Amino acid sequence: MELTGNTFFFPWEVSLEEWLQANLGSTGTGIISFFSAFGEEMILILVMGLLYWVLDKKMGKRVGLSVLAAMTWNAQFKNIFLRRRPYMDHEGIQILRVVEPSADPMDLAAQGYSFPSGHSANASSVYASLAAELKKKWMTALAVVLPLLVGCSRVVVGAHYPTDVMVGWVLGLLAVLIVRLLSGRIRNELALNGIVLLTAVPGFFFCRSEDYFSSVGLMIGFMLGSMLEEKKVNFENTRNVLFGILRLVGGFAIYFLLNTALKMPFSKDFLSGGSTGALLVRAARYAIVAFVEFGIYPMIFAKAEGALSGKKGR
């Protein structure tokens, strides 16, 4: 199903974007566009994997819940406002970094709507949540600088209007604040997860973009996997550098292999078609990946490390 979307903007936003792209040059644009990565999937997986699998599992759960809340809320807002990306409507703005490289840049279902900025919401939620957890000055500074750079990069590459970025920052901070308030008052993990999940449910009735179904799938899989881990595995975090590296490498390998394998039963045209079936398959695929990563994978490395430690002991 082809999505069309709405066009609305302040004139100064278009003028600013055109001026930035015309005056920064290829070197300046390339440097700034690099910071988009700090709000993208791979960095979020790295941060979550490092926290959950290696450093502090409980902190990883809290940070993960904040990030996933921001992702699902952001996607729902996008499907309410249906704002097209600036490069889609202004010839003077080029797209230098698309959201989904394998899809047509003009495909709204794949590239997602513009308002608010998902990268900005992701960055502000993950780094603000880390700052709130660690309570270190250097992390607080990073929580300000990195989202600022991520947001600026999204404007420079032509993927967002400045107002998309501003609202994305606010939404990410609100997710951190609300999730921390809820977790401080609700000690039952199932109840807490259920309340956060309920905030994502309305989107099933009106969202038609892939980012919403990806986010909801990740949220469901993360919640189920982390609860399974607590009941059946309860692994310990590690300060062993080798074990930490192996956990991260194994987690990334499973992510890529499972993501690829789960696509194989379906044609590329079906997966990118935007039908209800394709969107539900996408949600299920991300839910399975997250469930395996946070629930099943810890069983594997816990047993492997236990066996390895036992052999060393003998």
291-306 pLDDT per residue, tens: 999 999 999 888 887 7
pLDDT of res. 82 = 94
pLDDT of res. 313 = 45
With respect to residue 2, please indicate whether it lies within any of the assigned structural domains.
no
Distance CA 310, CA 232 (A): 21
CB of 121 closer than 8 Å to CB of 172: yes
With respect to residue 47, please indicate whether it lies within any of the assigned structural domains.
yes
Q: What is the mean pLDDT of residues 147-172?
A: 95
Query: pLDDT of 2-39, one tens digit each?
Result: 668 889 999 999 999 999 998 887 788 888 888 888 88
With respect to residue 5, please indicate whether it lies within any of the assigned structural domains.
no
With respect to residue 4, please indicate whether it lies within any of the assigned structural domains.
no
CB of 1 closer than 8 Å to CB of 273: yes
With respect to residue 163, please indicate whether it lies within any of the assigned structural domains.
yes
Domain count, the chain: 1
Contacts of 283 by beta carbon, 8 Å cutoff, 6+ apart: 213, 214, 216, 217, 220
With respect to residue 3, please indicate whether it lies within any of the assigned structural domains.
no
The pTM is what?
0.90
% of residues, the chain, pLDDT over 90: 68
Cα torsion 65, 67, 72, 78 to 10°: value is: 160
Which residues does residue 6 pair with via DSSP β-bridges, in sequence order?
A: 83
With respect to residue 195, please indicate whether it lies within any of the assigned structural domains.
yes
Round the average pLDDT of the chain to a whole number and report it.
90
Give the residue numbers spanning the domain of 74.
11-313
